Amino acid sequence: MAVPLLRNCDANLSAEDQMIVLVKSRLEVEVMKAVPWSTNVEVWTTERGDAKNNIKLFQTAFNLRAKRPSVFLAPLLVDRLRNAIWTRLINAPISVGPTGKWSSMAFTRSLQNEPGMHKVEYFVRFGVAAGFPEVSNPDVRLPVSSESQFQARSKIPGWNPDQRWIALGPGSGRFEAFKRWPPSHFKILARMLLQHSAQIRIALFGSLRERELLESILQGADFDVSRCFLYASDDFHRALALLTQCHCMVAGCAGLLHMAAAAGIPVVGLYGPSNPGFEGAYSKCHYPVRFGLECSPCYRTGFIYGCGEPLCMTLIKPEMVFEAVIHMLEGSKPPPLPWTPVTRATRASWPFVDDSIKSVKRHKFLRNKSEGNFKYLP
């Protein structure tokens, strides 16, 4: 999401300048490595656990202060007193952050997201507020060399240019499993796609931690698994190269969907807890699919693990997603990306918005908060 902002900053700095990027995961470090920078860029990692450790957090602030930064941009900083003090310790002459209770204390300038604005565009505004030029056409795509693409094709069994590879991303990472579409739905979708055309192939993508989830979609399948390819790895660059060889990606609002947009392929995004117009994949070839319960979307600060009953995801029918995939394969124009305000809901709405499907079986959804493991139960 922040790549266009960072590119804009990088393009308007001199060779003597330095840009320090704070990220919260090793995956984001790999994303930063994939961007060709023209200036001196350092990437500092602050793991999720470090955010709870005030000593390490404030040590980072003092380390940044020692660099004497001219500009500090913090579009993702949560509005809290601790974070306001942290920002003041950095002591940058120009600091831009989100509007909030503590923003006047923390930042020299603050910004608020406007309805209809995507997060990518919102982030770009932070650079503009700090004095960088406007960005007329933000681009999240990451370069993949022809050599990397050739190596990716060699890893796909039986690859040939006449095939149509559909990438499926059933995972979501440890902390956003409430955004997942059920594995059983992915299995039905795979069968429908493979039956639709002899040229279609299925590629299942996920992290090493998600291998078991990917394998569950192929186990006991009533379709030809020899036409499927499973890739479970934490190698970001290899995954990005493999995605460039696919013709469409189907995933929930998680990392793989954004990776597919970065690879430049069409995406079918499945949305429930999140606002597709703000947090969804940033792509002109993006077909959003959502059920539209009254409680959706609910993803917000202070409510980042969902209600425990993601009916907004389980009620998305495989037939809806199948139609969206075929629509994208045919090169048709996708529908507009909806921008839906976040609700204050803390549990799933009931009855459903659509009275015609009240009889759909309600699912239980259990979550182990300590491990971030989710599972569906009938």
Q: Does one domain contain both 121 and 183? A: no
Flag whether 143 is in a domain: no
The CATH number given to whatever domain includes residue 106 is 3.40.50
For 74, the token pair is 């913090």
- Classify residue 138: in a domain, yes or no: no
The per-residue pLDDT for range 230-258, each reduced to its tens digit, is 999 999 999 999 999 999 999 999 999 99
pLDDT-derived band at 175, boundaries 50, 70, 90: confident
Q: Please tell me whether residues 261 and 296 are part of one structural domain.
A: yes
What pLDDT does 350 receive? 61
Domain finish residue from 95, 129, 163: 129
Please check whether residues 121 and 153 belong to one and the same domain: no
Is the peptide bond prior to 138 cis by the omega test (within 30 degrees of 0)? Answer: no
For residue range 195-205, what is the model confidence (pLDDT) as tens digits? Answer: 999 999 999 99
DSSP per-residue string spanning 91-156? --SEEEEE-STTHHHH-SEEE-PPTT--HHHHHHHHHHHTTPPP-SS--------HHHHHHHHHHS
| Residue 135 placed within a domain | no
Is 50 exceeded by the pLDDT of residue 51?
A: no
| Domain-located, residue 377 | no
Share of the chain above pLDDT 70, in %: 90
Report the pLDDT averaged over residues 7-33. Answer: 92
pLDDT over 50 at 362, yes or no:
no
Could you tell me the pLDDT band of residue 95, with boundaries at 50, 70 and 90? Answer: very high
CB 176 within 8 A of CB 140: no
120 plus 212 within the same structural domain: no
Distance of CA 364 to the CA centre of its chain: 25
Task: Kindly report the average pLDDT of the chain as a whole number.
Answer: 88
pLDDT tens sequence across 29-49: 999 999 999 999 999 987 554
What pLDDT band is residue 360 in, cutting at 50, 70 and 90?
A: very low
Looking at the structure, tell me whether residues 241 and 321 fall in a common domain: yes
Mean pLDDT to the nearest integer, 296-314: 88
Look at the chain and report how many structural domains it folds into: 2
Residue 116 shares a structural domain with residue 249: no
Could you tell me if 113 and 187 lie in one domain? no
CB 165 within 8 A of CB 242: no
Q: What is the pLDDT of residue 107?
A: 95
Residues 216 and 79 in one domain: no
What's the rounded Cα separation, in Å, for the pair 270 and 178? 12
pLDDT classification of 164: cutoffs 50, 70, 90: very high
In a domain, 239, yes or no: yes
Q: What CATH number has the domain bearing residue 262?
A: 3.40.50.2000
Q: Domain boundary residue among 71, 98, 129?
A: 129
Length of the chain measured in residues: 378
The answer to the question of residue 137 being in a domain is no
- pLDDT of 185 > 50? The answer is yes
User: Are residues 157 and 34 located together in one domain of the fold?
Assistant: no
CA 40 – CA 130 distance, rounded (Å): 19
Query: Residue 351: which pLDDT band, with cuts at 50, 70 and 90?
Result: low
Which of the four pLDDT bands, split at 50, 70 and 90, describes residue 52?
low
**139 belongs to a structural domain:** no
Instruction: Please name the residues in contact with 220: beta carbons below 8 A apart, sequence gap of 6 or more.
Output: none
Confidence of residue 365 (pLDDT cuts 50, 70, 90): very low
Its domain, for residue 54, covers: 3-129
How many whole angstroms separate alpha carbon 42 and alpha carbon 154? Answer: 33
Q: Is 338 helix (H, G, I), strand (E, B) or coil?
A: coil
> In this predicted model, what pLDDT tens digit does every residue of 256-287 receive, in sequence order?
999 999 999 999 999 999 999 999 999 999 99
Statement to judge: residues 91 and 156 lie in one domain: no
